[in-house]
Structures are given as structure tokens and as C-alpha cells.
Structure 1
Amino acid sequence: MSNCIAGENFELGFSAVRSTLEQLEIWYRELYAENKILWDIISEIDDEAIWRKLLTTLINKYRNHSNALIIQIIRRLLENENYSVALLALNHLLRISNDEEPSETLQLAIPLILEHMLSIEISDVDEMDRLLITTMGWIKNSAGSKLRASVHKYLVANHAKLFQFTADTNSPDLILAYLYTLLNFECYSLMREMLEYLLYKEWPFLDAKLQEEQFAHFLWLTSYLSMDDLLLEVSKQSNHLIEQSNLPELILYKKYNAAKNRGQNDDKTLNDIVALMTQGLIFEEHEKVKLWNEIIKFQQEKIIAPAYTSEVQTNVKKTDNIWQIKNKTDHCPQCIQSKLVNIQVSVEGFTKKSPQAQKLVILELLTCERCQKIYAYDSLKQELYRAIAPYRCRVELDPLEYPQKKAVTKPIKPVANKVIGKRITPIGSEYFKWPSTEAKESQGQTNKESNYRDESSLHRLGYRITGLNRTQRWNILVNKAIPQITLKEIAYTIAHNIRLRKAQPGGQTKFSYAIGEWEHDLKQLKAEYYKSNFTWPHY
């Protein structure tokens, strides 16, 4: 009897639980549907003031999960192509991350968000440029946050794509935004690589459209890397601004270089220079510290140099002979028994042009107290290079730690008889029609497919417009591409790139240099390799 009652009670209890779960499921579906409707309504709002209030409220209310929440919001906004508000949320993410250590989820999400933001294509070219410049500004500002490491990793890994993408736009503001990003992350070699390409290849197109503030930015960036002489040499239309402009930053450049060349650092000259530095408004404060480091040093030569030099000579050992040793080495390679100890040393940085030191840094390296030689592990050497950048110092491999390898003489192989002639690409026996490069400019949203997001076989072999001249590209096409991929694929890939750029709003003007170079290569390929009236042989 008791068993029957217990069974009935169990059934009743189970039914009640099941009924409760069903009710909870109904409520969840209703709430989810209502939230979706609410989200769809909110995501259509373009009022940034409303979004600022909403984001601040959400962050304050869900502080323990704010990163995950903002990432989810950014993802939804990007799906709805609400890019301006996504950037607003991204700025909130930067502020949150400064208060706490970034989670692994956040570090993984950042590259995906940046990839999406830098791949946007909308019909309004001016708005697209604004969004790209703002995104680049966010990347630059992240250099001073706890997200620096993950963003730096993304920047270095994607530099080739970002370099090509940015340079191809011929937009001075976007190019400057990327250069300042590299400056903030101390990527000086990447910065130099891009400036060299711009000055040797793209400058005629940029020179014709530069405003005086943009020219001043380029002038001081190249001056920082000792490339300003090259800039002034290739600037046919904008270098007159140095003589005619009233912009403090351009007057400062002219006055400082004149004083430096004459060795003139009297009180009046220094006061004029300080006044111009104070009047300058186009640089942020931390940018002034970097870009005008040489000017500050020039001033200090009169104001504080004697006391500083005396202190360095008295307390810190100065060296210009540094030897690199292997990381596990803890004894002097020369003296063997003498253990290496830490020491503060001063090292001077130089440029190729001038034997006079341009920068002095003090840091901790290793020394042998017996022979007094100064040593550095690879990690210490890299730290030294970062500290002394953009100038240079010499670190040599210790000959005992890194003995020179003896040259191995290889036997000379007999040269086989070859038939010398044009290379023939193994494209198979079928005929193909040479691709067209004609494309109408799109009036609406352009095709999402682009070289920035999808890498072609041709690009993987090293073929690109950015950083290569016509001879270098032709060598890649003849010696790498044609032996490995079909002529048809090569021609259609290049033609696709041309059509893609031409179809974008304003693309004919915006990408004129890249389009012209691609069409030159395509024309040369057709003249040298394409025959439409015979079957290609296999080799």
C-alpha cells in the first residue's frame, strides 16, 4: 500500500517538475524572442550618444563579464555593418582592458575584429576611408594599453597585407595613420620599408595631393629615420612649402636644420626653437618626444650636457665594443674561469650619415672583471636595439662562441646541353581566351571578395605591386610563377585584380598606380607567352 502511495507521489512530483521545466522553456523562448526584437531595434540606431550611454550602463552593470559582453556586441554590430558604432564599442573595450589583464578570449577576438574592420567595403569611399583611418587610430592607441602584445603580434603577422592595402589606396591620411601605428609600436624596420617604397614608387601620386600638414607629418617621420634628404629630393611639388608655409612644424624643421648645420645654439636660436615646438599642434605629445628627440638633445648640449657627460664618465662605463654570446654562457669565453657579472654601461647610437653620436642610452649588460670585455645575450642585444632605435650600434658575434664555418668547396657539375629559349608554361592542351580587364564602376556596395582577404597562388610566390619594381616582378613571373602554375591562372588572377579595383567607387583614380602596373605585366605576358592559334606542349 505504502509503495503505491510513494509511486503516486513520485509521479505527481515528476509531473510538477516537468510542467515547471516546460513553463521555463516557454518563458525562455519568449524572452529570447523579445531580446532579439529589442536587439534588432537597437542595432539599427546610429545615434552614438545613445550607444555611449548603453555601453557605459552595460559595462557598469556586468563589470565581471564586460569584455565578453562588448565582444559579443561588436560581433553583432559588424554583422549588421554598423561599423561606426562597432568602433565606439572597440574604444570601450580598450578602456576596460586597461583595468584588468586581457583574457585569452579577448586576445583571440581582437585579430578577428581588426581583420573585419580593415576589410570593409562600402559604396561611400569617403566614409570607408574615415572608418579605416579611425580603425588604424585605434590600433595605434592600443600600443599604450595591455592589449599591446596581441595587437603587435597581429600587426607584424599581417604587415605585408596591410602595407599593400594601405599603399594602394594612395590616401595620405590612411598612409600616415599606418606609419604612426608602426611608430607607436616601435616597428622601425617595417616603417623604413614602407617609407622607402612610398618615396621610390608612389611619391609622384602623393606629392601632387599633399596638404601642408600632411607634408609636415611625412617630413618629420622621414627625419626621424634619417630619410628626409630623400623626401626633399623626390618632392617636386610640395617641398616649396618649407619656404612658404607658416606652419610652426615646417618652420621648426627649417630653423633647426639651419642651426644644426651652422653649429649655432645661442640663446636666441634655442628660444626660437622652443617657441616653435610649443606652438606646434599637429603632433600628439608622445609623438613630439620621439620625433623631436634630436632637437631636445641639441638643446641639452648647451643646457645640461657638461654635467650629464661628467656623471656618465664617472659612474657608468662607456663602451662601443659589445660581443654577443650564447644564452647559457655564464663565464667569460676568453678567460674561461672568470664568471660574468652585470654592469651598467652607456652605449651611443649613430646614423650612417654622421659619425657623431645621436643618442645615448644606459642599460645593464654583462662584463668580465678580469678582461673587462662587455657581453650581451641575444635577448639583451634586442633590448639594446629597441632602446637605441631609430639609431644604430654595433654588436659582433664573439669568435669563440660563434666560430666561423669553413667554406666547403662543392664539386663542379658538368653542364648538360640545353636548348635556350623562352620558358613554356605547362598549361595543358586547351585553348583559353585572354581575360578582359574592363569593369564598370559600381554604384552600390562592391563585391566583398578581395586580395586583402584571399591570398592567390601568385601572391604566395611573391608577386605583388607593393615594394617591387617591374624587373623584380617579371623575374618572379618568369622564374617562379610560370614553372609552377598555368599561364591561364596567372593572367586571370592579374586581370581579376584589375577588374576588382576598377569596379570600386573611385577605384580608377584611387588605385591608378597598381592598375597601371598590373596592366603592364599582363601586356608583357601576352606578348611573350600567349599564342591563341596553337596547342601548348607539355614539358
Structure 2
Amino acid sequence: MIEKTLIKNEIMEVLNREVNRIVELNVATIQEERNVLERENITLRKQLMIEKQNEKSSEWKSKDKDIEFQLLLKYLLKSNDFANLYNFLLEQKSLFPEKWVLKQTSLFVSQIDSQNYNMSAYLIRSLADLLTVEDFENMDKWFHSLHNELSKVLLPVQSIESVDYDNNYSAVFLLLPKFVTTPYCDQVKDFLQENSRVLMDTIFLLNSPQVITDFIRCYFIYKLEECLHVIYEQLLVELPFLEADLKAEHVIHLLWISFSINRYNELLTVLNEAEIALPQTQPEIRIYHTLQQVEKEIGKYKNGKKQIEKLQKQITLFTKAEQDLHFDHLKEEIAKLTIKYKKDQAIKHKERQTEPKILKAEDIKIMKISKLPNKQKSHPLFDPPLRKRDVLLAVFNNQTTNQIDHYTKISADYSDQFSEYYINKAQINSLKQKEKGKWIEVIYKNKHNKQIKKERMHLLKEPAVPKTTTYPETHSSQQNNQSNEVDLNTRSELRKLGYQITGVSRIKRWEILSQKAVPRLGLRKVVYTIAYLVRGRKAMKNGAIKNRYSITEWEKDLALLKKHFYKNDFPWPKTTV
């Protein structure tokens, strides 16, 4: 029993010693871990302090940088340094990829508020230039704000009289087409459609061909054809007053859009009446000349189609959106000509099968020949230049018959561009000897290669070359001795004095006519000009109906002028056509 008790005591002592040893070891380990944690805590606190210091330093630097940024912007805006300002805007876009549009929106709004209208217009245009497809991915964040401000630019609460503000209209009309392929296209389109009348009245009052053209281009890109027809009605009335500032690019845009909405001939008539020259050498115009020639003579289809395809590649004036719409319409017109050409070829093939005589390949028979002005030795339109080609020209026995007497061989000038033959004065004199007493068909062309007269020429006398274009008569044929030429500058002067139908009351118009126009320009010039405008509108297709309002107002003005100023000292102009 005693032995057992001793053994237990020994075992307990061993166990106690072992427990104490283990406890001592654990205490040391725990203490070591505690020391490690304390050291890490101290280190982290030091890092946190350093980071806080760096943040404050960075914040101070950022504030300094922002101050420098704003000072630079203020300097660029004040100095109108557009080159460096554009670089600044690029940098702003890179620094704030999601906010730059809002920043630039606020910027052009501030410039309008400061009445720095040229700068605000530049900022809107540069916004259009800087916008890319990537920006449209997050346009939900900025479009509504931008659209709201652009609407205010086009429809200001108060009328802005400054001429410098006009550029802002153009800038907006160049920016809006950027959204035609975005989800917000319909919202912009609805805005333009709902406000078309107000915008049209505002834009035409500016008397700026640039703003009017940009306005029309914007509506064309959004395919607002119904609005465009109304706008073109007004354009046909106002265009004669714009010729002084009208540039080639304006004419080209207006003609192409008029072609797409089938108002081309009406616009061309007004341009010709106002003697507004077309930029004939431009590929955009040459395409239409070629197209018209093919329409008149379908035999020129193949060469014409090749020429059109060649000219299409030279066009650089249109934006991508405009070019797609224009070329789609052009493609439709060519498709119509293709059908017409195939039918014509089928008819000719049938005729050849029944034709007893087969012509030689080198023999080309023509019924008529064109003639340029005598002094037109070379022509800027012809590219490549004219070249000689032997042809057989139809000769007739008298002035009225359609029966060909025979063909005579001549060496004519040929244009590959227009697929047309030309005769000169020397060749006509030669024919007078060779075909004395006979008749030939001659089409007279002006220096723009436009037909001005067609006649059956008698080879015994000098051909009557038409005179240059004059204005239409202002009275009946019994008064041919009356001088009827309208001074081109008079129309511009009337417009500059504020005389116009749209947006001007009758009382105001009479004040302009009686107190400004008649004293400065003279009664005769004023009434002849207004009468000319009336006849021009009436001469259009359905012109008396479509232009009823303008015609009525002009004729009332003429009646007042006759009542108060006319002294029977010159023939009063007619307004009938």
C-alpha cells in the first residue's frame, strides 16, 4: 500500500514538472508572437501616417494642378488661341473620358452667357469633331444635358441680334447629325420636326447661305423630306437675294439635296434666272451633267455610267452620312437608266435584223451637231480635251422636212466626257461650199456647255449665234423696245435694306420701300426687281399656287408703289407670264 502511494507521488511530480515545462514554453511562444504583432502594428502605423501625408501632398498638388488648368483655359479662351485650345480639349478628353462632354457643354454655355459667340461656336464644332463611336457607349450620362443646351442655342429665350451668333446655328446643325446612328436619333428627329417652322423662319431671316445650307443638310440627313419640301419652297423665293455670298459648295449641297427630293429642275431654274453660275468643273456637278446627257440620249449609257463611277471616287465634299444617302439615290437613277438602255438595245437589235444595209464600223451617223461660242477654242469642262473624229452628218433639203437627203462626212471635235460632237466656224464655212443651199441641225451651247438654242441652219447664210442670257421681259411682246434688264445688285440691295416677305409685316415692308429703297435705288429698279421675282415664282411648275402668299404680297407692294410714286415716266412692268 505504502509503495503504491510513493509511486503515485513520483508520477505526479513528473507530470507537474512536465506541465510546468510546457506552460513555460507556450508562454514564451505567445510572448514572441505578441512581440511580432506589436512590431507589425508599429510598422503599419508608420505606413499609414506616410500614406496620409502623401494623400495630403497629392491633394495639394492636384489643387495646384487644377488651378493651373483653369488659368490656362481662361488664357486660351481670352486670347482666341484656337490651335492650343484644341490640344487642351484633347487633353481634357483623355483625363476625363466619361465627363469631358459635360465639361465642354458647360464651357460653350458659359461662352454664350458671356456673349463670346465666336468662341461658343468653335467649342460646339470641336465637340462634333472630337466625338467618336466609343463616346456613344456611355452617352446616357451626358446626352440629355447636351441636347437640352443645344435646343436653347437654336431656340434662345430672347432674340440675339449679334451677327456673330449665326455661327452657333451652323455649329449645332453640324453636331446633330452625329446622333443619327445612335439610340437617340428619334429624339433629335422629333425635335427638328416639331420646330421646323420656327427654325425655318429664324434661319432665313439671317440671310446667311452658310447657315441655310447647314440647316438643310441636317434635315436631309435625318430624312425629314416633308419638312425639306416646305424649306425648299422658301429657298426658291429667297435664293436670288443670296447670290452675293453664295459659294460653290453651297450650290453643290443644295443641288444634290434637291435632286434627292425631286426639286432639282425648280432649283436650277431659279439659279439660272438669278445668273448664279454652277461650279462646272466640280465632280459633284459633272456627275449630273453626265446623268442628264444619258437620260436624253440613252445610247451614251455605257460611257456615261463609267464616267459617273469615276467621278464618284473624286467626291470629297460630303460627310459619310450624306454620301450614303446621295449615292443610294444616284444608284436608283442609274438602275432606271439601265432598264431604259436594255429596252433601247432590244429595239435597236430588232431594227438591225430587218435593216437591209449594214453600216461600216468606222461610219458614225449623227442627226445633229453642237456648236460652242466662236471664241471658245478650248473648254475647261472637257477632261480629257476634245479630239478629232470623222462622222457622217445628216443633210436636209429644206428647213422643215424630217427626211434626210444624204450624209456628209466631216471631221468633228469629240468629247469623251460628254459623248458629244462639236463643229466650229471654219467647218461651217467649209460646209457652205460643199453643201451649198442645204440644211443641217445645229445645237448652240454656251460656255458652260448648256443648250441655249436649236436651229435648222441654212448653208447659204451666216448662222445666227444667240446672244448671252438676259432677264425675262417685264411686259408684253408689244413693248419689246422697253429696257427690261434687272440689275443683279438691286436684289441684294433690297435684301440688305431688310425687304423680304418672310418675317416682315406689310407696314414694315412699306416703310423699307418708301423710306429706304425708292430714295436710294430709284423707283424703276425697285419695281422691276419685284416684278421679276413675281414672274419667276409664277413660271415655276404650279408656281402660282405654291407661291400664292409671296406673289400676293409682292403684287400688293407694287400696287402701293404705283399709287404713291409712279409718274408715268417709264413703262410699268408686267407680272404676267
Relative to the length of structure 2, the TM-score reads 0.43
Q: Which one has a bigger Cα radius of gyration? A: 2
